[in-house]
Amino acid sequence: MFLTRVRTTAAGCALALSALLTLSGCSLLDDSGTTASSEGGASQNGGGEDAQGTDADIPYDVTPLLKPEKKYFGAAVDGAPNSMKGVDAYTAMTGKQPNLIEYYAAWGDGFDAQGVRNAWAEGALTLVSWEPFDVTLADIAAGEKDAYLKKYAASVRKLNLPVVISFADEMNGHWEKWGTKNVTPKQYVAAWKHIHDTFTDAGASNVIWAWSPNIVNPVKSVELKPYYPGDGYVDWVGVIGYFTLEEDNAYKSVFGPTLDEIRTFTKKPTLILETAAEPGERRRADVRNLFAGVEADDDMLGFVWFDHKKRADWRLKVSPLALKEFKRLAAADVFGFDVRKP
């Protein structure tokens, strides 16, 4: 999928809406609501004794969160998790509180420790989509950006709460700066491994690493395996894909080809890291297909709904019938749980 991310520093996109919706993903947030809090937030005692009842020197054990019995019920909403007002409104709208909150951060942003605390206090895990807009992956791999990287990793370790990190997602698309037009699979894997190793050296084992390709439908000629860092460097495979009016809306049509290809080289659990359905008469059916597909797939951990107006209006509130169906299906016990008690 190809909805180019838009930040305040990015050039405007000249592609037509129909082409964008057919080809693209939707991580289209500008700096408002996504800029992480300063490093000062991470200097406070957030992880250890207050959050877990254990010594902060002992890294948080993320194992129970890697493949829990129930499904993650996630959302990406304005301002969250630095402010939880949007999450609270989403909870009231859908009838269920999200337990996975995704936000977007550029390379160079500080780690939003307070936001992670905010989400954790409401029983939710934070997922950081970390986007290297103004840095090359070659420089990251070569250690040229280690001062920032080590500081970030130290902040994550000091907080000592579980955090999901998805670095440079949609790498199999040509629309990203770190995508196929500018970066080779070898360069991508080298950068990923260097980041992961730096966190390991910092003792930040409280991170769940989500490797997140776009669905292969618009880029069938790009093989995923060469971009995969290896099972030792990945905890989740976070697939990104949207239900659009130009494509068949069966769950297996949208996600099946990608999941089938992934299963040829890894058995890691999968998560629909970013999804939504384009507004229209078919939206209620799209929502039904999403819930049914995720529930039926034992290897699928859950999904994150992108509830933003970016290039298209993906917000649930603009489609009352689809929202009613979403609320009905979200009530199922299999979706959602308190991540503090997995």
The H-assigned helical ranges of the chain are 17-23, 63-66, 85-94, 113-121, 137-141, 146-159, 185-201, 251-262, 283-296, 320-330
- Catalytic residue chosen out of the listed positions 102, 122, 131, 170: 170
Q: Does 283 have pLDDT greater than 80?
A: yes
Whether 277 contacts 248, CB under 8 Å: no
- Number of other CB atoms surrounding residue 221 within 10 Å: 7
| Tens-digit pLDDT profile for residues 89-117 | 999 999 999 999 999 999 999 999 999 99
Task: List pLDDT tens digits, range 114-161.
Answer: 999 999 999 999 999 999 999 999 999 999 999 999 999 999 999 999
- Please confirm, yes or no, whether 144 is among the known catalytic residues: no
**What is the band of 56 on the pLDDT scale with cuts at 50, 70, 90?**
low
User: Which of 102, 274, 278, 325 is an active site residue?
Assistant: 274
Residues counted in the chain = 342
Q: 170: phi > 0 → left, psi -120 to 50 → alpha, else beta; which?
A: left
With bands split at pLDDT 50, 70 and 90, how would you rate the model's confidence at 215? Answer: very high
Looking at every residue in the chain, the average pLDDT score rounds to 88
Residue 52: pLDDT over 80: no
pLDDT greater than 90 at residue 54: no
Distance CA 30, CA 147 (A): 25
31 has pLDDT over 70: no
Rounded Cα gap, residues 128 and 169, in angstroms: 11
Active-site residue, 278 included: no
Distances (CA, A) of 169 to 128, 215, 227, 334: 11, 11, 11, 27
Query: 163-208, pLDDT tens digit by residue?
Result: 999 999 999 999 999 999 999 999 999 999 999 999 999 999 999 9
Percent of all residues in the chain with a pLDDT value above 90, rounded to a whole number: 83
Beta strands 300-306 and 72-76, pairing class: parallel
Measured CA to CA, the distance from residue 258 to residue 18 in angstroms comes to 22
**Residue-level pLDDT at 57:** 82
**In the prediction, which pLDDT does 103 show?**
98
